[in-house]
Amino acid sequence: MATRHSRTSDEGTRARLLHAAGEVFADHGFRAATVQMICQRAKANVAAVNYYFRDKERLYHEALQYGKHPEIYNLEHFKAAVRHQPRQALELFIQDFIRRLLTQRNQPQWYTRLVAREMAEPTAGLQVFISTCVRPRMEAVAAIVRGIASPARLDEALVQRAVHSIIGQCLFYHRYRNIVLKMMKQSEFGNSDIERITESIVQFSLGGIHALVAAGSTLAAPGRPKLKLEVPRRASARSLKQRNRNRKLDRRA
C-alpha cells in the first residue's frame, strides 16, 4: 500500500516532468526535444517518463493541456446565464477570456509559447488541443450567439462566423499584446483596461449579431417562411453603358 509520502513524491516528480517538458517543448519543438533533455531539466531518471507518461508523445499531449485552466463555460452559473441571460453570459465569457489571455493567470510561463509553437509546427497533439481546449470554448460561444439571436434562428454558418469574430477580437489583444501596450504607453494591462476591452468587444459583437438578425439571415422557424438576405442584383453591361452615356450628356449640359 502506497504511503502518503510516496504519493506526494510521485506527484512531485510528475509535476516536475510536466513543467520541464513544457519548457523544453516550447524551446525546441516536439521533434527536436528529447526525453534526455526533459529529464535533465526535471532532475529525474529517464525511466520516469515511461513510468508516468508511457512515451514522449503522451508527455507532449499532457504538456499541451497542463496549462489548461478550469474554463468558465464548465461552471453551472455560466450555463444558466447562457440559457436565460445570453448577453450577460457573453460579457462574462469575454471578460474571463481576456483576463486569462492578458494576465496569464493560472498558466505557467511556457504554456503560451508551447501553444504558439504547436500552431506553427502542428503535430498529432493539435487535434488533442482542439478537442479539449478549442472546441468546448467555441461551442460555448455558439450557444451564446444563438441565445442572443433568439427567437430568430441564425443559419449555422453565420453562427460559426460570429463565433470566430468574437474569439478573434479577444485573441487580437493577446497576439499583438506588446504593440498595444506600447501604443497605450503601458507595461501591463490593468483591471480597468480589461473592463474597457471587454465592453468594446461585447458592444461590437452584439451589434454584429443583431445586424445579422435584422438582415434576415435566419433559418425558417417552424410554421414560418424562410427569411432571405436581400442581395442587390448585378447591373447588366447594357445598363452600365447607358448609365455612362447619361453621365456624359449631363456633363455636357
Q: How confident is the model at residue 226 (pLDDT cuts 50, 70, 90)?
A: very low
Q: What is the per-residue pLDDT for 228? A: 44
Domain limits at 135? 72-218
Check whether residue 12 and residue 103 sit in a common domain.
no
Q: What is the pTM of this model?
A: 0.71
Check whether residue 17 and residue 49 sit in a common domain.
yes
Q: What is the per-residue pLDDT for 221? A: 45
Cis amide prior to 222 (ω within 30 degrees): no
In whole angstroms, give the CA distance from residue 253 to residue 249. Answer: 6
In whole angstroms, give the CA distance from residue 144 to residue 164. Answer: 13
Encode pLDDT of 63-112 as tens digits. Answer: 988 756 555 656 667 778 888 899 999 999 999 889 888 886 567 878 88
Check whether residue 146 and residue 49 sit in a common domain.
no
Check whether residue 80 and residue 202 sit in a common domain.
yes
Q: What is the per-residue pLDDT for 82? A: 85
Number of domains forming the structure of the chain: 2
